[in-house]
Amino acid sequence: MTVDPISQLLALDRAHVWHPYSAMNGEQPVYPVVSAEGVRLKLADGRELIDGMSSWWCAIHGYNHPVMNAALISQLDAMAHVMFGGLTHPPAVKLAKRLVELTPAPLQSVFFSDSGSVAVEVAMKMAIQYWHARGRSGKQHFLALRGGYHGDTFGAMSVCDPVTGMHGLFSEVLAQQFFVDSPSCRFGDPCEHNDIAPLSEQLDTHAGQIAAIILEPVVQGAGGMRFYSADYLRHVRELCDRFDVLLIFDEIATGFGRTGKLFACEHAGVTPDMMCVGKALTGGYLSLAATLTTVQVSETLSGGDPGLFMHGPTFMANPLACAAGLASIDLLVTSPWQERITGIEQTLRAGLEPCREFAWVKDVRVLGAIGVVELAAPVDMQVVQPQFVEAGVWVRPFGKLVYLMPPYIIGQSDLQQLTAAVVEVVSACGQS
């Protein structure tokens, strides 16, 4: 009897592969992808899906891009990997220079790591070590926003929302941090006194214990996909300066054009003391992240005990990943990316607007190349995921959120098909 290769693959997957945010019971469907081109994922059964997720927000140039492919092949011929301790190489140095050129001027020192979560861990460790070097070792805690998400490792989990986030199970073993409610001022509106007062009060009481404020500028990602006033960031910067606290911006989801600015902090004209970038950094080709900081922070930390920064990922500044980062950045900045983001934003607004009429929809919001439909109740993934696939699109909701973050190269008709599928599936949510 001939064994169907797709069935065999899925059986092996169910038996041995543990997917993210899932159980090892095979209850949620998975779909085998055999190739990807442009904005389309080709499934093993021959169906093609328009990707509305940019593979968790990183594949901004789509898939199988010839420029990206060529950059990786060229680097592979020279060197795939070399340790970064005591050695350096052109792709890392060039990428660091490009990141310094693109980000706000005070950010001059670049520490590479493997993933966004680790970039956050690095920033947190830097902040604590900075204050230790300045003789203020009591500043070992962080102030964060409720509704925030910064990753799934232990330090990063500790500054995610402790109540509504994904990590409540670990609350007793995580470092205890300080939190304030997310600002209620929406993007485009001014920040009022009541929005910033809770932050000011926490700093007034606990500044001696707080090493840094960490937040996602303008857009809170996986913690709720909320968009808040850029004016809030200006007040946060002022408070950090007044209370002698560092400011960390987590731009892992928002960096490289997603919000309509190259970095979300540009909406406010505010510079942090540290910035974490990742995801779109390599255009989705390889895992790479970076923590950028000011010379004041890097020199202070390096001049104090023990005289060096105690962190060193094995695959730090992997040459292939750095080559991908250089190619991705060049592709982005030489493209009409602002035009594309504006076009995506307009189509998302028009296409998702019908969802606002459904009684079970709490909100519809769009910023740049991000479109969000927030429902009153969580979606049933076992129901909605197959519905999206049947509609010919790849959309991966979570909790109460059905959202789109498409590749920047997506065409108008493909984007309209994505938004139409969202309206159709969200419409059906109220009938179940």
Residue 332 has what pLDDT? Answer: 98
Sign of CA dihedral 289, 405, 107, 99: positive
Domain ranges of the chain: 31-64+336-429, 68-333
Q: pLDDT per residue over 182-217, tens digit each?
A: 999 999 999 999 999 999 999 999 999 999 999 999
Residue 383 has what pLDDT? Answer: 93
Q: Above pLDDT 70, what percent of the chain?
A: 99
- Which of 250, 261, 285, 403 is labelled catalytic? 250
In DSSP terms, 316 is beta-bridged to none
- Which of 21, 181, 330, 380 is labelled catalytic? 21
pTM of the entire predicted model: 0.96
Contact assessment for residue 124 and residue 155, using Cβ atoms and an 8 Å cutoff:
yes
Domain spanning 68-333: CATH 3.40.640.10: yes
- Which of 149, 228, 285, 408 is labelled catalytic? 149
- Which of 125, 139, 261, 279 is labelled catalytic? 279
- pLDDT of residue 125 exceeding 60, the answer is yes
- pLDDT of residue 167 exceeding 80, the answer is no
Residue 431 has what pLDDT? Answer: 76
- pLDDT of residue 50 exceeding 80, the answer is yes
Residue 1 has what pLDDT? Answer: 57
Domain spanning 31-64+336-429: CATH 3.90.1150.10: yes
Is residue 21 part of the annotated active site? The answer reads yes
